[in-house]
A and B are shown apart, each in its own frame.
Chain A
Amino acid sequence: MTDLLLTPFVAGFLITLVLALAGSGLFLRGSVWQALALGQWAAAGGVLASVLHWPVLPVALALGAGVMALLQRVRDAERLPLALFLGGLAAVTLLAANFSQASLAAAAWAEGQLYFAGPNELIAVVVAGVASAVLWPWLRRVWLHAQLAPDVSAAPAPPAIARWLEIAWLVAVIVLGSMVLGMPAALATLLLPAWGAAFLARGLTGALLWTQSLAIAGFLVAWTISLPLDQPFAPVLVVVFLLLALLARAGAVLRRAP
Chain B
Amino acid sequence: MSDSPVIEARAARPGFDRPVLGPLTLAVPGGARWALTGPNGSGKSLLLKCLTGQARVHGGRLTTAPGTRISLLAQDHPRPYPWPLSGHDWFRAMGTRVPEHPRIRALLRRRLDQLSGGQWQLLRLASVLAPVEAADRDTGRPHLVLLDEPANHLDAEVRADAVELITALPASATLVMTSHDDELLGTLGVERHPLQDYLDAHD
User: Interface on A for B, CB 8 Å cutoff?
Assistant: 30, 144-145, 147-148, 150-156, 197-199, 201-204, 206-207, 252
Residue pair A147, B54 in contact (C-beta under 8 Å) = no
Collect the chain B residues with CB atoms within 8 Å of residue A197's CB: 84
Partner of A153, one of B82, B86, B93, B109: B93
Neighbouring A residues of B73 by C-beta, 8 Å:
151
B134, A151: Cβ atoms under 8 Å?
A: no
Contact A155 B94 (CB under 8 A): yes
Q: Which of B52, B54, B85, B133 contacts A204 (CB 8 A)?
A: B85
B7 on the A face (CB < 8 A): no
Q: Which residues of A contact B80 (CB under 8 A)?
A: 30
Bound-state Cα–Cα, A135 to B162, Å? 38
Interface size class of B (residues with CB under 8 A): 35 or more
| B interface with A by C-beta (< 8 Å) | 52, 54, 69-74, 76-77, 80, 82-86, 88-90, 92-96, 109, 111, 124, 127-128, 131-134, 143, 145-146
Nearest-CB residue, chain A, relative to B125: A151
Give CA–CA (A213, B171) in the complex, Å: 48
Known: A144-B92, A153-B96, A155-B96. A202 touches B132 (CB 8 A): no
Cα separation A197 to B84 with both chains bound (whole Å):
8
B54 and A150 contacting across the interface, CB-CB below 8 Å: yes
8 extra interface residue pairs, beta carbon distance < 8 Å, beyond A207-B85, A252-B82: A147-B89, A153-B96, A154-B131, A154-B145, A155-B69, A198-B84, A202-B111, A204-B84
**A202-B90 Cα distance, complex, nearest whole Å:** 13
Given contacts A148-B94, A151-B124, contact A203 B74 (CB under 8 A): no
